[in-house]
Structure 1
Amino acid sequence: MAECGVTKPQDAVTVSLDDLKTGTVPFTVLEEAFGPTSLGIIIVKDIPERFLELRRRLLLASSQIANLPTEDLKLLECPEAKWLVGWSCGKETLKDGKYDTLKGSYYINCAFYKDPSLSSAQGHYPDFPEYTAPNIWPDESTYPQLCGFRTTAEELCRLVIDTAALVARACDRYAKENIEGYRDGYLEHVVKTSTTTKARLLHYFPSLPPSGQNTPISGEDDDWCATHVDHGCLTGLTSAMYLDKSSSGPQDELPLAPDPAAGLYIRSRVGATVKVSIPRGCLAFQTGEALELITLGRFRAVPHYVRGVREGGESQVVRDTLAVFTQPNLYEMVDEKRDFAAFAKEIVERNHR
């Protein structure tokens, strides 16, 4: 059923990159972003200008990958990793047990952030290929439209993780003062040293029905991405790119989604459902379940979803974005009983039945 009580779009808490670098973000601002009544998200502005070009190139590539022939996409899949490396579509189950076919993903292990020679998580976990299988990259000689895809992806992911480390440092300062027994500098350590961080390029297929039909594919508000919480520490997000696939001309980014109700929604810690917009030149960071465990519930993962385009005439609008999930190393403990590998296995089994 559709969500009730959705409020108008709300500006998330915004901080500047310079204030994060100088450590001058007030605790009151962090409390507003991540505290008891928060949306669990913070937006970082004044990102280096290079970011805009990297974002444009990578999100256009996301759409190009999603539209490769089916037989080519199969070559980019990794079934033994439960499709959590390379291309994945229709493998993840939604809340009703059905498979998610409105969203395609391209997963990238970000171990290269710690060591450029690495292509997967490190550690003695032979039964966890979801993180230890090496990355799969499209052959750029076969797909010239994807020339530079790998270098662009790695550069943008590094930029996102660098920024996440600064957000983590601010969170550490707050947590050290407000959470008994908190390990000084722990979250920044996780972000900077992890070989488990994973990026997910997301391509949302048109949610409008084919021409001649009058109802959307799904009546749910969360048709493009079902309501869920992230299971890492901090999730870095770019703003979404909307493209009209019904256009015969060059694929240029639409200035806005044609349906103003489409986009990211967050259910705040007090139960309000709020539409949040990320400005194009900014990055956003959400809290995940691992951080909730690490901070003993002080920072909580908040449920969120993506609503598809329902209005816009005959247009076939798609949405592309990048999420980077900063996560502990597989061997690091998230609570008294589980390392991150055990915790992540539970999540994988839940979502890939």
Structure 2
Amino acid sequence: MSSVVTVSANDLRGGTVPLDTLEQAFGPASLGIIVVRDLPTEYATLRHSVLSNSSYLANLPTSELAKLERPETRYNVGWSCGKETLANGRYDTLKGSFYAQPVSDDELEEKASSLYPDCLELTSPNVYPSDSVLPGFKASFEKLCLLIVDTAALVARNCDRYGKAKLDGYEDGTLEHIVRSSVSTKARLLHYFPPPPRAVEGRPDSAVSLDDDWCATHSDLGALTGLTAAMFVDEAAHRPLAKADSSGHCPPLPELDSHPDSEAGLWIKDRSGRTTQVHIPRDCLAFQTGTALELITRGRFKAVPHLVRGAAPEKAAKIARNTLAVFTQPNLWERVTDHQTFGQLAQAALAQTA
């Protein structure tokens, strides 16, 4: 059975990760995920702050959350809750999402808007809660996202080494350029609300699929998806009411050592269809493969199907789960195959979720 591969950011930076290690992480027989340790010292503090802010944000008054909604983007910018449908057709009210694009470049953003004027999901400006509503949210969010992008670029640089060695005609620096420069990169801060009693939705216990309660099985669209370790918060004991402390920010919330339901969390489907639970250490980042990477590497690296399994209400009635995913994606006009741009790929995928 495949296992999760762990590497040091120092080895990624030095270009010394063996090519067979990359194949074990991303190749046809892999789980499609790599864990990176030895991150910058500020990572732990940033992660704790941003994931705490996920609880603060999700518990703002509905009038404030409404100001952050952008329906014209199909809720792919700013705040979204109850707009997404799960595999069984139910609207997903069990998680809230905050979307923003952390890489800024005025010239590239103008180019994206002019070439793809109808792709508002990836060309609309970001919207953030004001500091008067949620102090320090934007600054810490953007700083953490850019740290994740920088680390993803190190992974990408080593993937380029693999492509150069294994693929005829592969242009060196292809993936690192995409990760570092693309204004299509999308960050999603997630808040999984404490699970309601099953009876509230009028469903018998036997009809509930926990696989669909948080996030149904899917593969990501982009190149590399950066993931933080999830943060679990007892929101009954520590009510997340946004109020600045003496530092001018909302104080970090106490973090549980683990989730009371050991089955809850990230699961990956391997190439034989078996599911494997993946635990990301708090001081590490994980990066999983998406469809664009599979296309760019001509199938040598595979996109990973994964799901987030929900918690049984009787085990975690008051526990919320917070995490951050950063989807590094090519610019809309960049080609992922000889005949398809990422914009065409993205629009086809977004049309299926409309």
TM-score, length-normalised on structure 1?
Answer: 0.90
Match of 1:285, as an amino acid?
F
1:334 aligns with 2:336: yes
Match of 1:340, as an amino acid?
F
Which residue of 2 is the match for residue 238 of structure 1?
228
Given that 2:76 and 2:121 are in contact with CA atoms closer than 8 Å, whether structure 1 keeps it comes out as yes
**Identity fraction in percent:** 53
1:157 aligns with 2:145: yes
Q: What is the CA-CA distance between 1:206 and the residue it aligns to?
A: 1.8
Given that 2:261 and 2:315 are in contact with CA atoms closer than 8 Å, whether structure 1 keeps it comes out as no
Q: Return closer, same or farther for 1:118/1:102 CA change in 2, 3 Å cut-off.
A: farther
Which residue of 2 is the match for residue 4 of structure 1?
none
Which residue of 2 is the match for residue 128 of structure 1?
119
Aligned length: 338
Q: Return closer, same or farther for 1:218/1:102 CA change in 2, 3 Å cut-off.
A: farther
Given that 2:194 and 2:316 are in contact with CA atoms closer than 8 Å, whether structure 1 keeps it comes out as no
**C-alpha distance in 1, partners of 2:129/2:19?**
44
Query: Aligned match of 2:34 in 35, 39, 42?
Result: 42
Q: What is the CA-CA distance between 1:217 and the residue it aligns to?
A: 9.1
Which residue of 1 is the match for residue 190 of structure 2?
202
The DSSP-based 3-state class of the residue aligned with 2:268 is strand
Given that 1:164 and 1:234 are in contact with CA atoms closer than 8 Å, whether structure 2 keeps it comes out as yes
Which residue of 2 is the match for residue 176 of structure 1?
164
The DSSP-based 3-state class of the residue aligned with 1:203 is strand
Given that 1:208 and 1:217 are in contact with CA atoms closer than 8 Å, whether structure 2 keeps it comes out as no
Query: Aligned match of 2:322 in 308, 320, 323?
Result: 320
Q: How does 1:96-111 map to 2 (within 5 A)?
A: 96-111=88-103
Query: Aligned match of 1:260 in 259, 262, 275?
Result: 262
The DSSP-based 3-state class of the residue aligned with 1:47 is coil
The DSSP-based 3-state class of the residue aligned with 2:337 is coil
Query: Aligned match of 1:89 in 81, 102, 119?
Result: 81
Q: What is the CA-CA distance between 1:246 and the residue it aligns to?
A: 2.2
Q: What is the CA-CA distance between 1:208 and the residue it aligns to?
A: 4.5
Match of 1:182, as an amino acid?
Y
**C-alpha distance in 2, partners of 1:121/1:312?**
50
The DSSP-based 3-state class of the residue aligned with 1:334 is strand
For structure 1, the 5+ residue unaligned runs are 1-6
Q: Return closer, same or farther for 1:347/1:17 CA change in 2, 3 Å cut-off.
A: same
**C-alpha distance in 1, partners of 2:271/2:21?**
16
Which residue of 2 is the match for residue 12 of structure 1?
4
Match of 2:96, as an amino acid?
G
Q: What is the CA-CA distance between 1:119 and the residue it aligns to?
A: 10
Match of 2:125, as an amino acid?
P
Given that 1:208 and 1:310 are in contact with CA atoms closer than 8 Å, whether structure 2 keeps it comes out as no
Match of 1:31, as an amino acid?
E
**C-alpha distance in 2, partners of 1:120/1:209?**
44
**CA deviation string 1:180-224 (max 9, x = no partner):** 222211000111111110100011112251799994993332421
Q: What is the CA-CA distance between 1:244 and the residue it aligns to?
A: 1.3
**C-alpha distance in 2, partners of 1:80/1:119?**
21
1:220 aligns with 2:210: yes
What is the root-mean-square deviation in Å for CA atoms of aligned residues?
A: 2.3
Q: What is the CA-CA distance between 1:120 and the residue it aligns to?
A: 5.3
For structure 2, the 5+ residue unaligned runs are 241-252
Which residue of 2 is the match for residue 303 of structure 1?
305
Given that 1:78 and 1:84 are in contact with CA atoms closer than 8 Å, whether structure 2 keeps it comes out as yes
**CA deviation string 1:220-253 (max 9, x = no partner):** 3242111100000000000000111222578411
Match of 2:302, as an amino acid?
R
89-98 vs 294-303, which moves further = 89-98
The DSSP-based 3-state class of the residue aligned with 1:221 is helix
Match of 1:127, as an amino acid?
D
Which residue of 2 is the match for residue 23 of structure 1?
15
Q: How does 1:46-57 map to 2 (within 5 A)?
A: 46-57=38-49
TM-score, length-normalised on structure 2?
Answer: 0.90
Given that 1:238 and 1:283 are in contact with CA atoms closer than 8 Å, whether structure 2 keeps it comes out as yes
Given that 1:51 and 1:156 are in contact with CA atoms closer than 8 Å, whether structure 2 keeps it comes out as yes
The DSSP-based 3-state class of the residue aligned with 1:325 is strand
**C-alpha distance in 2, partners of 1:55/1:121?**
31
Q: Return closer, same or farther for 1:208/1:110 CA change in 2, 3 Å cut-off.
A: same
**CA deviation string 1:109-148 (max 9, x = no partner):** 1232xx4x6895742122111111110010111x1xx211
Q: Return closer, same or farther for 1:19/1:217 CA change in 2, 3 Å cut-off.
A: farther
Q: Return closer, same or farther for 1:81/1:119 CA change in 2, 3 Å cut-off.
A: farther
**C-alpha distance in 1, partners of 2:14/2:87?**
42
**C-alpha distance in 1, partners of 2:280/2:103?**
27
1:66 aligns with 2:58: yes
Q: Return closer, same or farther for 1:199/1:252 CA change in 2, 3 Å cut-off.
A: same
